[in-house]
A and B are shown apart, each in its own frame.
Chain A
Amino acid sequence: MKSLLKEFEALRARFPAGFESSLVLPCLRRIQEERGYVADGDIEELAAFLGVPAIQVEEVLSFYTQFRRRPVGRWHLQVCRNVSCSMRGAEGLVGHLERRLGVAPGATTPDGRFTLSTVECLGSCGTAPALMLNDRYVENLTPESVDALLQELD
């Protein structure tokens, strides 16, 4: 976290006075971007830096689905399985990915390349089915386009 302190100071300056608590989410996001997940030590350090209780940081980490306490694979595939995506084939797609990767949702391949997850609506229902590949949306999926995507990823 130390390397980010300068950036966090700049962020603090953009917010109105007294808004330190608001920085919990953006700071955790940056920590996770750097390390891939949020480690135990980060919690105490961030809480001390912002002057908020450590329990608040822990609660935030467990409340929001995007925060991780453990590393994931190099490629994180998060497949939407809400109504519109399921109506366009998402359930079959999850099964297809399970077979191709040999892991169930929530798990990482033994070589550490892929993590498969299912998520709720991504706000991409018009281009369903959709998934998130790390930060990027991939839409209008078919089993063939998913195979082609997996081919591209190292």
Chain B
Amino acid sequence: MAGRQLLMNFPVTANSHTLAEYRARGGYTAIAKALREMKPQQITQEVVAAGLQGRGGASFPTGRKWQVVVPGDGQPHYLIANADEGEPGTFKDRWILENAPHLLVEGMLLTAYALDARHCFIYIRGEFDLPYRRIAGAVEEAYAARWLGEQIAGSGFSCDLIVYRGAGAYVAGEASGLISSLEGKKGYPRNRPPRLTVRGLYQRPTVVNNVESLANVTGIIRDGAAAFRAVGTEKSPGTRLISVSGHVNRPGVYEVELGFPWRRFIDEDCGGVLGGRAIKAVVPGGISSKVLTGAEIALLALSHEALWDVNSTLGSGGMIVIAEGTCMVHLLQIMLRFYHHESCGQCTPCRHGTGWMHRIVDRIVAGEGRPEDIERLYYVAKYNDGTTICGLGDAAGFAAAGILDKFRDEFEYCIEHKRSRYEGRIECLRS
């Protein structure tokens, strides 16, 4: 086990997703206590003190985001759990939705109380079936037991929670695109400022947090900020759910205490690389985070600060392990096809840039690359950085520049010899 656990430290059984089981394990005591003993501001203070960082991608401090919203300022506030989980390589929110949905519901109740939000939403990606049925079931159970609805636990606090299903669009996972989508429109991201905490859903102050961020709130209020801070590192308190996929023997969702040695996690918890091969590269946190080489991660810890030091990020916690012998040119081709497909087209650099980069790498893979193509990829990637409405444009540039920086020789080889050094191979199957 990769250090101490805060979310996965209860056995998953056939009924662990039910209200009865959750109650038997002490569920809904945190909200009961908060409603009895705490003011909304104290909840926010506790989360600020805990130093919880967002688990959706940007690692923004959760409590600080909430502080922008002023309870009792006379206007409606909204809370949205981002369960869109679309970042390739990421499938950890699904674990919470399927196995511990009440942990999310309770975390949302605490957050809604802190924010003075009467209405909350869970925006869940449209493809998810079992996760949807589990969370929708949990919400129904919570209503029946009066943990949702009017005057919860005899207090003056009332709260409604609606599960809203997306319909297939990666960009609708971006917080403002999500809000457009929840307003029943195309999932177009919006220019900021104004921040969503000032003008969000239907122009009202809105907090969008990732599922895992909100699930952590329950433990922070139940056990206190100090207990949360006692786990992890100074700059990265707590744990992260890491979804591991690619060329490892035991892919899956793991809870990792922040600061845990990376290599040990892959070798021991994930059972090492398929066929005992060496690690060529690792995508640390979803394909929008910059790829690292096997040598780079050898001595690294899994923490936000360690990743920032090497110019990457833990992002969404979607870790893809890539074995020696894999063609990075083909891998980048798949990533760029994805960004090109998912670009919503509002911003010129993203709309054209993703397509342009995709076409260049397509032709390199087809053996028709030109010597100037590498510099051209860099050029397009750079013009995507910071010139677009949302992070998708930047991410496409990061993915391209990140792989080129570290595996340039493979692209040069492919252009010069008109074929991949690894024959385009990216597969590594279970033996």
Chain A residues engaging chain B, CB cutoff 8 angstroms: 14-16, 18-19, 21-26, 28-29, 50, 52, 56, 59-60, 63-67, 81-84, 86-89, 91-92, 119-128, 132, 135-137
Please determine whether A128 and B167 come into contact, CB atoms closer than 8 angstroms: no
Please determine whether B246 and A84 come into contact, CB atoms closer than 8 angstroms: yes
Query: Measured between C-beta atoms, what is the minimum distance from B290 to chain A in Å?
Result: 14
Contact with A along B145-186 (1 / 0, CB 8 A): 000000000000000101011111110100000000111111
Please determine whether B185 and A87 come into contact, CB atoms closer than 8 angstroms: no
The CB with the most chain A CB atoms within 10 A, among B88, B160, B253, B287, is that of: B88
Please determine whether B251 and A65 come into contact, CB atoms closer than 8 angstroms: no
Which of B168, B184, B245, B342 interacts with A128 by CB under 8 Å? B245
Please determine whether A21 and B251 come into contact, CB atoms closer than 8 angstroms: no
Query: Measured between C-beta atoms, what is the minimum distance from A75 to chain B in Å?
Result: 15
Query: Measured between C-beta atoms, what is the minimum distance from B399 to chain A in Å?
Result: 10
Query: Measured between C-beta atoms, what is the minimum distance from A93 to chain B in Å?
Result: 10
The residue on A at minimum CB distance from B180 is: A63
B16-33 interface with A by 8 A CB criterion: none
* B90 close to chain A: CB less than 8 A: yes
B64-110 interface with A by 8 A CB criterion: 76, 85-91, 94
The CB with the most chain B CB atoms within 10 A, among A16, A21, A60, A91, is that of: A16
Please determine whether A25 and B166 come into contact, CB atoms closer than 8 angstroms: yes
Please determine whether B251 and A136 come into contact, CB atoms closer than 8 angstroms: no
The residue on B at minimum CB distance from A85 is: B245
Q: How far is the CA of A15 from the CA of B78 in the complex (A)?
A: 12
Given contacts A16-B119, A63-B186, A66-B168, 11 further A-B contacts (CB under 8 A): A21-B184, A23-B184, A24-B185, A67-B168, A82-B88, A87-B320, A119-B168, A120-B170, A121-B90, A125-B89, A126-B252
Please determine whether B186 and A125 come into contact, CB atoms closer than 8 angstroms: no
B170-209 interface with A by 8 A CB criterion: 170, 172, 181-187, 202
The residue on A at minimum CB distance from B430 is: A88
- A132 surroundings in chain B (CB, below 8 A): 127
- A127 surroundings in chain B (CB, below 8 A): 251
Please determine whether A92 and B334 come into contact, CB atoms closer than 8 angstroms: no
- Name 5 A/B residue pairs within 8 A (Cβ), A-sorted: A50-B184, A65-B167, A65-B169, A83-B89, A87-B326
Please determine whether B185 and A60 come into contact, CB atoms closer than 8 angstroms: yes
Please determine whether B429 and A60 come into contact, CB atoms closer than 8 angstroms: no
- A89 surroundings in chain B (CB, below 8 A): 427, 429
- B265 surroundings in chain A (CB, below 8 A): none
- A125 surroundings in chain B (CB, below 8 A): 88-91, 243, 245-246, 251, 318, 320
- B334 surroundings in chain A (CB, below 8 A): 81-83, 86
Please determine whether A136 and B129 come into contact, CB atoms closer than 8 angstroms: yes
Known: A22-B183, A88-B429, A126-B251. A83 touches B320 (CB 8 A): yes
Which of A18, A52, A59, A124 interacts with B91 by CB under 8 Å? A124
Known: A87-B428, A137-B129. A121 touches B88 (CB 8 A): yes
B336-395 interface with A by 8 A CB criterion: 338, 341-342, 344
Known: A16-B119, A87-B326, A87-B428. A122 touches B127 (CB 8 A): yes
Q: How far is the CA of A87 from the CA of B428 in the complex (A)?
A: 6
* B48 close to chain A: CB less than 8 A: no
Query: Measured between C-beta atoms, what is the minimum distance from A153 to chain B in Å?
Result: 17
* B43 close to chain A: CB less than 8 A: no
- B251 surroundings in chain A (CB, below 8 A): 125-128
The residue on B at minimum CB distance from A127 is: B251
* B301 close to chain A: CB less than 8 A: no
Query: Measured between C-beta atoms, what is the minimum distance from A89 to chain B in Å?
Result: 5
The residue on B at minimum CB distance from A140 is: B430
Known: A63-B187, A125-B91, A135-B129. A25 touches B167 (CB 8 A): yes
Q: How far is the CA of A137 from the CA of B130 in the complex (A)?
A: 9
Query: Measured between C-beta atoms, what is the minimum distance from B252 to chain A in Å?
Result: 5
Q: How far is the CA of A135 from the CA of B185 in the complex (A)?
A: 23
Q: How far is the CA of A22 from the CA of B181 in the complex (A)?
A: 8
- A26 surroundings in chain B (CB, below 8 A): 164-165
Please determine whether B185 and A123 come into contact, CB atoms closer than 8 angstroms: no
- B184 surroundings in chain A (CB, below 8 A): 21-25, 50, 52, 56, 60
Q: How far is the CA of A64 from the CA of B186 in the complex (A)?
A: 8
Please determine whether A59 and B86 come into contact, CB atoms closer than 8 angstroms: no
Q: How far is the CA of A153 from the CA of B98 in the complex (A)?
A: 27
Which of B164, B169, B202 interacts with A63 by CB under 8 Å? B169
- Top 5 nearest A-B pairs (CB, nearest first) are A24-B184, A65-B168, A64-B167, A125-B245, A66-B168
